[in-house]
Structure 1
Amino acid sequence: MVSLSPLDYTLIIIFFSLTLGIGIWVSKKSGKNSSEFFLSGRSMPWWLLGVSMVATTFSTDTPNLVTDIVRTHGVSGNWVWWAFLLTGLLTVFVYAKLWRKSNVNTDLEFYELRYGGKPASFLRKFRAVYLGVIFNVITMSAVTLAAIKIGGIMLGLEPWQTVISAGIITVTFSALGGFKGVIYTDFLLFFVAMGGAIGAAYYLVNLPEVGGVAAMITNEHVADKLSILPDFSDTESLITLLIIPLAVQWWSSWYPGAEPGGGGYIAQRMLAAKDENHAIGATFFFNIMHYALRPWPWIIVALASLVVFPDLASIQEAFPSIADDKLGHDLAYSAMLTKLPSGLLGLVLASLIAAYMSTISTQLNWGSSYIVFDFYKEQINPEASEKRLVAVGRISTIVLMVFSALLALLLQNALQLFEVLLVFGAGTGLIFILRWFWWRINAWSEIAAMFASGIISIILKLTPAGAFFFAKETGVFESYLEYPFVVLITTIIWLAATYMTQPESKTVLQSFYKKIQPGGPGWSKVLLDAKSEDIDLEDNKEPWSVPAGILAMILGCALIYSAMFATGYWIYGETTQAFVMTIIALISGGLLVRIWKKIKANIL
Structure 2
Amino acid sequence: MGLGTLDLIIIGAFFLLTIFIGLITAKKAGKGFNEYFLSGRNMPWWLLGISMVATTFSADTPNLVADIVRKNGVSGNWVWWAFLLTGMLTVFVYAKLWRRSGISTDLEFYELRYGGKGAAFLRAFRAVYLGIIFNILILASVLLAGIKISSSMLGLGPVETVVIVSIITLIYTVLGGLRSVIITDLFQFAIALTGSVLAAIYILGLPEIGGLNALLERPELEGKLNLLPDFSDKEAWIALLIIPLAVQWWAVWYPGAEPGGGGYIAQRMLSAKNESHAGRAALLFNIAHYGIRPWPWILIALASLIIFPDLDALRTAFPDVPESVINDDMAYPAMLTYLPAGLLGLVLASLIAALMSTLSTHLNWGASYAVHDFYQRFIRPEASEKELVAMGRIFTLVIMVVAALFALTLENALEVFNLILLIGAGTGLLFILRWFWWRINAASEIAAMLISFVVALLLYKILPDNFTYWSELEGHYRLLLGIGITTAGWILVTFLTPPEKDEILVNFIQKVRPHLFGFKKVLQRNDISAEDYPSSDFSKELTAMFAGVFMVYAALFGTGFWIYGQIMEGLIATAVFLLTAVIIYRLRLKVF
Task: Return the TM-score normalized by structure 2.
Answer: 0.98
Specify the alignment match of 2:520 in structure 1: 524
Identity value in percent = 56
User: Are 2:58 and 1:59 aligned?
Assistant: yes
- Counterpart code for 1:490: T
Instruction: For 1:220 and 1:583, locate their aligned partners in 2 and report how far apart those are by CA, in whole Å.
Output: 32
Q: 1:257-294 CA distances to partner (integer Å, 9 max, x unpaired)?
A: 00000000000000000000000100000100000110
Specify the alignment match of 1:206 in structure 2: 205
Instruction: For 2:563 and 2:2, locate their aligned partners in 1 and report how far apart those are by CA, in whole Å.
Output: 32
Counterpart of 1:549 (choices 513, 517, 541) is 541
Instruction: For 1:539 and 1:97, locate their aligned partners in 2 and report how far apart those are by CA, in whole Å.
Output: 18
Q: 1:336-358 CA distances to partner (integer Å, 9 max, x unpaired)?
A: 00000000000001101100110
- Counterpart code for 2:236: S
Q: CA deviation at 1:545?
A: 2.1
**Preserved contact between residue 460 and residue 466 of structure 1 (Cα < 8 Å):** no
Specify the alignment match of 2:30 in structure 1: 31
Q: 1:563-590 CA distances to partner (integer Å, 9 max, x unpaired)?
A: 1000011111111111111111111212
Instruction: For 1:468 and 1:100, locate their aligned partners in 2 and report how far apart those are by CA, in whole Å.
Output: 48
Q: 1:232-279 CA distances to partner (integer Å, 9 max, x unpaired)?
A: 110000000000000110011111100000000000000000000000
**Preserved contact between residue 510 and residue 533 of structure 2 (Cα < 8 Å):** no
Instruction: For 1:545 and 1:469, locate their aligned partners in 2 and report how far apart those are by CA, in whole Å.
Output: 52
- Counterpart code for 1:40: S
- Counterpart code for 1:145: L
**Preserved contact between residue 547 and residue 583 of structure 2 (Cα < 8 Å):** yes
Distance 1:118 1:469, change over 3 A: farther
Q: CA deviation at 1:547?
A: 2.0
**Preserved contact between residue 470 and residue 481 of structure 1 (Cα < 8 Å):** no
**Preserved contact between residue 471 and residue 479 of structure 1 (Cα < 8 Å):** no
Specify the alignment match of 2:399 in structure 1: 400
Q: Can you give the 5+ residue segments of structure 2 that lack an aligned partner in the other structure?
A: none
Q: Can you give the 5+ residue segments of structure 1 that lack an aligned partner in the other structure?
A: none
Specify the alignment match of 1:355 in structure 2: 354
Distance 1:114 1:149, change over 3 A: same
**Preserved contact between residue 61 and residue 145 of structure 1 (Cα < 8 Å):** yes
Specify the alignment match of 1:485 in structure 2: 481
**Preserved contact between residue 463 and residue 470 of structure 2 (Cα < 8 Å):** no
Instruction: For 2:109 and 2:204, locate their aligned partners in 1 and report how far apart those are by CA, in whole Å.
Output: 48
- Counterpart code for 1:101: R
SS of alignment partner, residue 225 of structure 1 = coil
Instruction: For 2:234 and 2:287, locate their aligned partners in 1 and report how far apart those are by CA, in whole Å.
Output: 30
Instruction: For 2:377 and 2:506, locate their aligned partners in 1 and report how far apart those are by CA, in whole Å.
Output: 24
User: Are 2:412 and 1:416 aligned?
Assistant: no
Task: Please list, as runs of the form range in 1=range in 2, the aligned pairs for 1:157-556 lying within 5 A after superposition.
Answer: 157-464=156-463, 468=467, 471=470, 480-531=476-527, 535=528, 538-541=531-534, 544-556=536-548
- Counterpart code for 1:241: L
User: Are 2:52 and 1:49 aligned?
Assistant: no
Distance 1:465 1:55, change over 3 A: closer
Q: CA deviation at 1:479?
A: 5.4
Specify the alignment match of 2:587 in structure 1: 595
Instruction: For 1:237 and 1:471, locate their aligned partners in 2 and report how far apart those are by CA, in whole Å.
Output: 19
Instruction: For 1:383 and 1:435, locate their aligned partners in 2 and report how far apart those are by CA, in whole Å.
Output: 31
- Counterpart code for 2:586: R
**Preserved contact between residue 514 and residue 537 of structure 1 (Cα < 8 Å):** no
**Preserved contact between residue 148 and residue 163 of structure 1 (Cα < 8 Å):** yes
Distance 1:143 1:479, change over 3 A: closer
Task: Return the TM-score normalized by structure 1.
Answer: 0.96
Instruction: For 1:423 and 1:467, locate their aligned partners in 2 and report how far apart those are by CA, in whole Å.
Output: 19
SS of alignment partner, residue 87 of structure 1 = helix
- Counterpart code for 1:526: V
- Counterpart code for 1:596: R
Specify the alignment match of 1:572 in structure 2: 564
**Preserved contact between residue 464 and residue 470 of structure 2 (Cα < 8 Å):** no
Instruction: For 1:218 and 1:233, locate their aligned partners in 2 and report how far apart those are by CA, in whole Å.
Output: 22
- Counterpart code for 2:585: V
Specify the alignment match of 1:74 in structure 2: 73
Task: Please list, as runs of the form range in 1=range in 2, the aligned pairs for 1:7-18 lying within 5 A after superposition.
Answer: 7-18=6-17
Instruction: For 2:475 and 2:404, locate their aligned partners in 1 and report how far apart those are by CA, in whole Å.
Output: 33
Q: CA deviation at 1:539?
A: 3.7
Instruction: For 2:46 and 2:119, locate their aligned partners in 1 and report how far apart those are by CA, in whole Å.
Output: 34
Q: 1:116-161 CA distances to partner (integer Å, 9 max, x unpaired)?
A: 0000000000000110011100000010000001111111101000
Instruction: For 1:538 and 1:394, locate their aligned partners in 2 and report how far apart those are by CA, in whole Å.
Output: 45
Distance 1:399 1:538, change over 3 A: farther
Specify the alignment match of 1:4 in structure 2: 3
Instruction: For 1:116 and 1:527, locate their aligned partners in 2 and report how far apart those are by CA, in whole Å.
Output: 18
CA RMSD between the two structures: 1.3
**Preserved contact between residue 510 and residue 537 of structure 1 (Cα < 8 Å):** no
- Counterpart code for 1:94: V
Q: CA deviation at 1:465?
A: 5.5
